[in-house]
Structure 1
Amino acid sequence: MLKTGLRADKALLVCALTACAGLMDSKKGFKIHALILKHGVGSDVIVGSVLVMLYARCGGFSEAIRIINHMPLVDDFSWSVLIAEYAKHGFIDSAIKLSDCLEKKSVPLWNALIGGYSELGMNEEAHKAFGKMQLEGKKGDEFTYGSLLLASDLVGLSYGEQLHSQTIKLGIDSSVFVGSALIDMYSYNFECEAAIRIFDVLDEPNLVCWNSLISGLGLNKLDGKALCALRLMMVFGLVPDNITLSLILDSCSNLRALREGVQIHTLASKLGLESGVVAGCALIDMYAKCDRIIYASRVFYELQDHSVITWTAIVGGYMRCGMWDEAKELFDIMPERNIVSWNAMISGCVKLGRCTEALQLYHQMHNSGILPDQITLVSLLTICYNFLLKENGKQIHAQVIKNGYHINNHVTMVLTEMYHKLEVHPYSVLSFGSSDPVLGNGTVEPDALSGNN
């Protein structure tokens, strides 16, 4: 459109920024931001809110704050996005501090904090925030309960059932968000029959609900039924989207069903979705798990747009096939890396038993300024667990506390297992500089985990 000489108005700029936020593409978003400043609409509240969303989702919090400081009016959307993204990126203290600074918190602001806790698996904190919200006399809406339900898999089935009862009392149990969250909750707790019953009573299940059902069936290792659900969904006239195809391809991966996977690939081509990031990554993953890394590589090179997500998918594919050298070669030439990219390599090293490489990768990630998340920390703790690296484990434990993951149930469980094994084998503990063969082909420098600390 721009090439034709037409000028983008505010509505189009907002749409373009929203697309960049959805793709977490800060580079393109920055170019559109420059266009916004050129057109003189940077002080608009709606434009400012979407800019805050873009930068916050991409981890550019200083830029997001700068935009907020120049906004004539900061709406609840901007505050809620900032709180939620602080929490999602592991900056829990910043999220709480910002939330506490706001004297009057609306339901969307509470939802941002609760949703952020839920995504990090900090279920007790999400529940406490919900309790404080209720003390202020505010009733939750479908998004409140949806977030709590999505987090209830680690809290337990009984808590999820209590939330289910409350949604029934409020009359929001049949909403799309709550309905799909209930299906997810029961599926995560391996109560697949209950999930199916909830799906069956929904008046008009939309694509989101069908995707939740297919996801739940796959999670409960009912991958054959997931494929049947796709066929039934299409009989009812619903067209699968990228998410549907991604879930089905995951089921094909689990079944190592190459023939069905190729059929889904054909369907994706007919729908024009095979070149999209989500379906493309799922295809790469499926072919890699079916030991067809050549096909996976072909899908990667045929994608129209290579992003950090697609690069991560092919690198992860090589790692799954045990092809360390090829994966490392691609990883080294990646134009951009995010936390998922680093995790693909580090967790892959754990599976391949490459202790030294995993620690060295973490050292490089630390130097690049990327903070570890739950997956990174669990992978590193697993390395310390498997190779009895006591001092390393202590340093990672300190990083866990620093990043606020010490109240995450999964991380706590792995920490407990690690210390238990280290106590069981007190004389087998290795140190950083050890030349013991178990560390691989090289040694790790003393600052490998903590940089200069």
Structure 2
Amino acid sequence: MESKTTTYLANLLQSCMDKKSHLSGKLLHAFILRNGLASDTFLSNRLIELYSRCGKIEYACRVFNKIAQKGVYSWNAILGAHCRVGNVHDAYALFGEMPERNTVSWNTLISALVRSGSEQKALDAYDMSIFEGIVPTRFTLASVFSACSALLDSERGRRCHGLAIKVGLDNNIYVGNALLCMYAKCELIADAIQVFGDIQDQNEVTFTVMIGGLVQKGQVMGALAMFRLMCRKGIHIDSVSLSSILGACAGRISREVCDDDLDDILSSNVHGQQVHGLTIKRGFERDLHLNNSLLDMYAKNGDMDGAEKIFADLPEVSVVSWNIMIAGYGQKCQSVKAVDCLERMQSCGFEPDEVTYINMLAGCIKSGDIEMGRRMFDSISCPRVSSWNAILSGYSQSGNHKEAIELFRQMQFRSVKSDRTTLAIILSSCAAMGLLEFGEEVHSASQRACFHTDLYVASGLIGMYSKCGKTETAKHIFYNLPELDVVCWNSIIAGFSLNSLDMEAFNFFKQMRQNRIVPTEFSYATVLSCCAKLSSSFLGRQVHAQIAKDGCISDVFVGSALIDIYCKCGGVDEGRQFFDMMPNKNTVTWNEMIHGYAQSGCGYEAVCLYKDMISSGNKPDSITFVAVLTACSHSGLVDVGLEIFNSMQLEHGVEAELDHYTCIIDSLGRASRFHEAEVFIDRIPYKDDPVLWEVLLSSCRIHGNVSLARRAADELFRLEPQNAAPYVLLANIYSTLGRWDDVKAVRELMSDKQVIKEPGYSRIDYNNEMQPCVIDEIQAWNLFGELKLPTTQSPFDLTPLYKASSPSHHLSPTQRPSLARWKSEFLQLTVKSLFSSLVFLALLFLFASISEAAISWSIEDFNATPYVKLPSGKAPKPSAGSFNGSLRM
């Protein structure tokens, strides 16, 4: 009879548990006490479960404490009670007091630790259970995989995976889904797909986790294909599945009309509007979470009209709904609508949260309204670090670096702890302003916060030190990082390139490839720029081949860099061929090709390409006009250049800047239209800029206009008294006209003011390595007698060109030629035969005379390579074959 009563009461208690009826449970508890059944351990355990499920942990503890003989079931019951209400600390202490622990005890503790966010403690507890000989169950492994997923600890997860296979639980749907989630969260998609295939009884959770993992990895088409497979297999589609696939549809919205038939949906790509139709068909119109996912999908696709329609029809809204709408308006740069949405949100009784203000800040910053963004930030009573980062990023991105640094100081004054994002933003501002000392302070702060080895912060440090000219410090930080990602490699390559250490930058790129780091489009664009500055077509072609192999050839910025290097190495036709093959072109691409024509003296082609750009609908910018005006200047198309210059603001809304005015002055000067140039320079707002006067002085030198040259030189002496260029240019003008007293006066003035002319230098490509070369000028003319020609007759007489190219200040007045019209350039030549060697030698002498630098060469026979003395005093051994040389003056 007593057994039947106990069973009956236990069933009643179970009914109370199912209904979570605390009051009914207390009545049953009173009945148990009145009838002397309080000593029944089974009923006491059921009472503990009842009170714990109803959240009455204090009652559960009273019942537990009155149990005379506590068995492992009683201990597990009170342990579960503490875990269920979130008293993990008490549960952990209680677990240590247990006289006996079984699998249920360990599973209860491990799962509670995972739910409370103490994943590392959960894994430690799991290791202890294995040490005590506990065989893990499906519940154990599922909790452990969840902990590994949260910690992104794929190594531990793989070990547990091996154990799951060993105990035969790898095919269990519960374990399999947790394992799949772990691999997906760790972005190990190949492993996740293998686990997905091994799960025999796949359910909606399996597919939803797999779709989420593919979306997180950016494999949108794979996620869409997985959803189609889910539909094809007849797997139940719930709101969570639809929410996951809507995440994949963000950015891929289709304008097609949704079909009602599911088979029609499966036969085409699953796009956002089609999934929207499916949510309506499945009756999820009132699901708030799914409706927010729909809002997010339309907003991220920029379809705010569609988002507004859904928002207006929502049966209920939440703060999340309002935040999505505000973020959508911000993304569309509609800051006024975003502010209006915020006001409506508050008028409807919703209190903005941190995400609301961050979205508002992001919208204001994207719209360029940094002042409104600051007002929004100031309206937050206690901004968190994420809000600080948002406004700091806004200041930094808009070029207000001084304000960013001042705000960062306020952040420190308020004792707000910086995170990795904060430090990276401030380092970027320090780099932009060249604030080395403050950057070093931020570096010290990152070390105190243990962020200095964080890759995100380390990249900022490398960039800051590089932009401040401290490349050795940047290199030291780089080599002391425990691990390197592609961002760090890109930072060090860009930093060395910025400091004109292009060969070192290229060597870093080679190391990056050797370390099996896959270069990004930025990597390739940077290293191509290095090759262009080195004028090394050999290295450029190697990089081009690797770009084609890696599939980055269609990127517009990489394509622009390729055009740049081919044009700078004399391959303007190759550059144009590649330009024509590019599937996508932007303004940068057009600018690069026009600039390439300008560099190569192809003014007519540059103007034609500029007109093609206009007709194709691409809007020219300031750089476009600099390129085309330069081309007109170098090719003598003066009137065409003036016409384009006048159309800048009238037809294209581009304000003229210093570079545009410089091009026009250069164009007029080259054409000997000095009166127009002088009138033009007196009218423009940049009259006191030394660049304009130096360009004008160079033109006066070409045409021997002494009076205007003297005025330009006087202006330069006033504006830049320590610049050697005007002294040298003016002296060369006087020497050309035979005015040796004036030459002497200019050189004495130069000496009195202690102005030093930096010597020119050449750079040679020896054994595929670029090396600088600086040699004493006087030695060159003594070396000419060392030139040994074959016994056969020379293809042409070098003597006139040699005499013409001799430095004017080393020759007598009767020998001084009037060849001062050559302008300093950067040459790339390849010497393959005697004839080309002689031409190369003659040109080098000619250009060296203009730059006051000299190069010595020795040609032994028909197949010989020019002989160059390096700064170290060593010289490369002559060898047959081709030789690349480049000369900077």
Whether TM-score is above 0.5 comes out as yes
**1:179 corresponds to 2:179:** no
Q: 2:248 aligns with which of 5, 9, 12?
A: 12
RMSD (Å), alpha carbons: 4.2
Cα distance in 2 for residues equivalent to 1:299 and 1:66: 49
**CA-to-partner distance for each residue in 1:348-402, whole Å, 9 max, x for gaps?**
3675666774464144443xxx8x7xxx7564687799977566529xxxxxxxx
User: Does 1:33 pair with 2:315?
Assistant: no
Paired AA for residue 278 in structure 1? F
| Match of residue 150 from structure 1 | 428
2:562 match: 283
The aligned length equals 375
- Structure 1 unaligned blocks of 5 or more: 18-28, 395-420, 426-453
Distance 2:599 2:533 in 1: 13
- Structure-1 separation of matches of 2:543 and 2:305: 40
Quote how far apart the aligned CAs of 1:244 are.
0.8
Q: Which has the larger share of helix?
A: 1
Q: 1:41 & 1:261 partners in 2: Cα distance?
A: 53
Matched-pair contact (CA < 8 Å) for 2:629–2:664: no
Structure 1 CA distance for aligned equivalents of residues 412 and 587 of structure 2: 41
| Cα deviation, residue 139, structure 1 | 2.4
Residue 96 of structure 1 corresponds to 374
* Amino-acid identity (%): 22
- The separation in 1 between residues aligned to 2:310 and 2:644, in whole angstroms, is 49
Matched, 1:330 2:612: yes
Alignment match of 1:361 (pick from 648, 665, 668): 648
Counterparts in 2 of 1:120 and 1:316: CA distance versus 1, 3 Å: farther
* Alpha-carbon shift at residue 110 of structure 1 (Å): 2.5
Measured in 2, the distance between the counterparts of 1:349 and 1:276 equals 24
Question: Is it true that 1:393 corresponds to 2:629 in the alignment?
Answer: no
Query: What is the CA distance between 1:220 and its match in structure 2?
Result: 1.6
Distance 2:340 2:569 in 1: 48
Query: Are residues 255 and 32 of structure 1, via their aligned partners in 2, closer, same or farther at CA, if it must alter by over 3 Å?
Result: same
Q: CA deviation at 1:66?
A: 7.3
Q: Which residue of 2 aligns with 1:84?
A: 365
In structure 2, C-alpha distance between the alignment counterparts of 1:147 and 1:393, rounded to whole Å: 35
Match of 2:395 in 1: 117
Equivalent residue letter for 1:205: L
- Sort the Cα spacing of 1:290 and 1:383 in 2 relative to 1 into closer, same or farther, 3 A: closer
Does the CA-based 8 Å contact 1:51-1:67 persist in structure 2? Answer: no
- Higher RCO, Cα 8 Å, sep 6+: 1
Alignment of 1:224-235 (within 5 A): 224-235=503-514
Q: Which amino acid aligns with 1:128?
A: E
Tell me the distance in 2 between the aligned counterparts of 1:390 and 1:159. Answer: 42
User: Which residue identity does 2:359 align to in structure 1?
Assistant: S
> Would the aligned equivalents of 2:405 and 2:426 in 1 still touch at CA under 8 Å?
yes
Comparing 97-106 with 120-129, which one deviates more in the overlay? 97-106
- Which structure has the larger Rg? 2
Tell me which moved more, 240-249 or 35-44: 35-44
Partner of 1:145, secondary structure, is helix
Aligned to 1:443: none
Q: CA contact under 8 A between 2:331 and 2:366: conserved in structure 1?
A: no
Corresponding letter in the other structure for 2:418: G
Structure 2 CA distance for partners of 1:142 and 1:254, relative to 1, 3 Å: same
* 1:260 maps onto 2:539 in alignment: yes
Counterpart CA distance in 1 for 2:452 and 2:468 is 18
For residues 530 and 571 of structure 2, the distance between their equivalents in structure 1, rounded to whole angstroms, comes to 16
Partner residue, 1:192? 471
The AA in structure 1 aligned to 2:648 is L
Q: Say which SS state the counterpart of residue 621 (structure 2) adopts.
A: helix
Matching residue of 1:216:
495
Write the deviation string for residues 276-326 of structure 1: whole angstroms up to 9, x where unpaired: 223222212222322323222222222233344544443444455453413
Q: Relative to structure 1, is the Cα distance of residues 351 and 77 closer, same or farther in structure 2, using a 3 angstrom cutoff? A: farther
Range 185-194 or range 296-305, more displaced: 296-305
Partner of 2:29: none
When structure 1 is superposed on structure 2, of 220-229 and 313-322 the one drifting more is 313-322
Letter of the 2:416 partner, please give it: K
Choose 259-268 or 356-365, whichever is displaced more.
356-365
Letter in 1 for 2:392: I
Q: Give the distance between the partners of 1:70 and 1:252, measured in 2 at CA.
A: 56
Which residue in 1 is equivalent to 2:515? 236
AA aligned opposite 1:336: N
Once the two structures are TM-superposed, the CA of residue 187 in structure 1 deviates from its matched residue by 0.8
TM-score (norm 1): 0.68
The equivalent residue for 2:239 is none
**Mapped partners of 2:361, 2:442: distance in 1:** 23
Q: Which runs of 5+ in 2 are unaligned?
A: 1-220, 229-241, 254-298, 315-320, 634-640, 667-676, 687-714, 720-889
Alpha-carbon distance in structure 2 between the residues aligned to 1:102 and 1:385: 53
Distance 1:130 1:384 in 2: 44
Deviation at 1:105, TM superposition (A): 3.5
Deviation at 1:199, TM superposition (A): 0.1
Indicate how the Cα distance of structure 1 residues 97 and 35 shifts in structure 2: closer, same or farther if over 3 A, else same: closer
With over 3 angstroms needed to count, the CA separation of the structure-2 counterparts of 1:31 and 1:216, relative to structure 1, is closer
In the alignment, the residues of structure 2 paired with residue 264 and residue 67 of structure 1 have an alpha-carbon distance, to the nearest angstrom, of: 50
Amino acid at match of 2:535: R
